[in-house]
Chain A
Amino acid sequence: AQTVTQSQPEMSVQEAETVTLSCTYDTSESDYYLFWYKQPPSRQMILVIRQEAYKQQNATENRFSVNFQKAAKSFSLKISDSQLGDAAMYFCAYRKLSGNTPLVFGKGTRLSVIA
């Protein structure tokens, strides 16, 4: 079974600085998708970024980028120029390539942003 591990339960960053959240996963599949979701205090889940495993280029969405290392099964999220609104729980998730299979989530990292 696939597993997703987020080894940092809590992280903090100064406003305007850069922070990296770690995620590793275990799978025997060669093609799959990886996601980062943000859950602010409202508890609404928001998709931050996605990565297709067959693409070598790291995905980027404005201030959010990933470092995808397929051989190491690592998928870290970098947040640049951190803002107070980035404070949230961040979940890493894995999904098989085929069909409507469920996402497998990590346990999350709580990010605090210090003004």
Chain B
Amino acid sequence: DGGITQSPKYLFRKEGQNVTLSCEQNLNHDAMYWYRQDPGQGLRLIYYSQIVNDFQKGDIAEGYSVSREKKESFPLTVTSAQKNPTAFYLCASSIPTAAGGYTFGSGTRLTVV
């Protein structure tokens, strides 16, 4: 069955370290997205990519980086420049029509220790 796989489910990071969150989809979707979820803040857009080898900053891109070398993959790196990285991260993908909404991954919980 097609879907989006995020890994790992839980991730612990020491302060000052970079970590990469994986997001893979086999839905043949062109667009992929990364959101951050904090209590009481809803989902805030970090980065998105509408096509391979292209991506745009979202509302809270500082301290994060992404790449889109393959259609199926959109990894997110949380760098040491991100001052408060502890959060729940959601990856999503969509078809080229707005009516489709998103297909979401199951999320990664990142904790700084």
Contacts and interface: CB of A to CB of B under 8 A. Distances in A.
A9 B41 CA distance: 10
Contact of A103 (B30, B41, B102): B102
A99 B33 CA distance: 14
A44 B42 CA distance: 14
Contact of A100 (B43, B88, B90, B94): B94
B73 interface: no
Contacts of B104: 44-45
Interface centre among A32, A42, A45, A107 (most CB of B within 10 A): A45
A96 to B, nearest CB: 6
Interface in A56-115: 91, 93, 95-108
A44 B107 CA distance: 7
A56 B101 CA distance: 20
Nearest to A1: B59
A63 B32 CA distance: 31
Contacts of B31: 100
B58 interface: yes
Interface residues of A, number: 28
A102 B61 CA distance: 14
A91 B101 contact: no
A105 B42 contact: yes
B98 A95 contact: yes
A106 B42 CA distance: 6
Interface of B: 30-31, 33, 35, 40-45, 48, 50, 58, 88, 90, 92, 94, 96, 98-99, 101-102, 104, 106-107
Interface of A: 6, 9, 32-33, 35, 42-45, 47, 50, 52, 91, 93, 95-108
25 contacts: A6-B42, A33-B98, A33-B99, A43-B88, A43-B106, A43-B107, A44-B106, A45-B92, A45-B102, A47-B101, A99-B96, A99-B98, A100-B30, A100-B94, A102-B33, A102-B45, A102-B48, A102-B58, A103-B102, A105-B35, A105-B42, A106-B42, A107-B40, A107-B42, A108-B42
